[in-house]
Amino acid sequence: MATDTHKTRLLKELKEIRDELFETARSIKPEEFEWHPRPGMKSAKALLQEIGATEKICLSVLAGGPKLEWEKAVRWSGDDLNSILKDLESIRQETLRYLDSLSDDDLHKPVAMPESWHQYTGPRLEPEEMLRWIARHEYYHLGQLIYNRWLLGYNPYKTEK
Ligand code: NI
């Protein structure tokens, strides 16, 4: 067996972060879901929605579709934890289908970015770079979610399950 392809490594990273996100999110009680520590900080619900909407918007651009608007990017199927996790899953399935359609070479063929993103991405970006950024973005907000939970008393270093 050859060493892992670039694609396999990307898939692994996306999956490991997603598994930790779901493990962290599954224990959220309904009364905790919209709690936020301070005004202007995101609740668990808002963090999860941010992760899903960002992934969907980035994927649309990568796949040659339109640049979706933030508020309308995802039609959430419900306001509760389970609905939002289910929506995150179906967004991820689209990402994986897209990734599956690429060869390792395709991963490095730059894709045109929307004008308003040029300040962050430049005019063109390799899919590999964007997919790594999606994973990094999710990990950033996962850290915030873990902290949100910790403020409610759920110490991530103590596994009392
Ligand atoms: Ni964000």
Question: How many residues are there in the chain?
Answer: 161
pLDDT confidence tier of residue 161, bands split at 50, 70 and 90: low
Tell me how far the alpha carbon of residue 16 lies from the centroid of ligand 1, in angstroms.
19
Tell me how far the alpha carbon of residue 88 lies from the centroid of ligand 1, in angstroms.
15
Tell me how far the alpha carbon of residue 139 lies from the centroid of ligand 1, in angstroms.
10
CA–CA separation, 75 vs 52, rounded Å?
A: 11
Tell me how far the alpha carbon of residue 103 lies from the centroid of ligand 1, in angstroms.
28
CA–CA separation, 140 vs 87, rounded Å?
A: 20
Tell me how far the alpha carbon of residue 140 lies from the centroid of ligand 1, in angstroms.
8
DSSP structural state of residue 106: G
Give per-residue pLDDT as tens, 74-125: 999 999 999 999 999 999 999 999 999 999 899 999 999 999 999 999 999 9
Beta bridge partners of 124: 112
Answer yes or no: are the C-beta atoms of 111 and 21 closer than 8 Å. no
Model pTM? Answer: 0.93
pLDDT confidence tier of residue 159, bands split at 50, 70 and 90: low
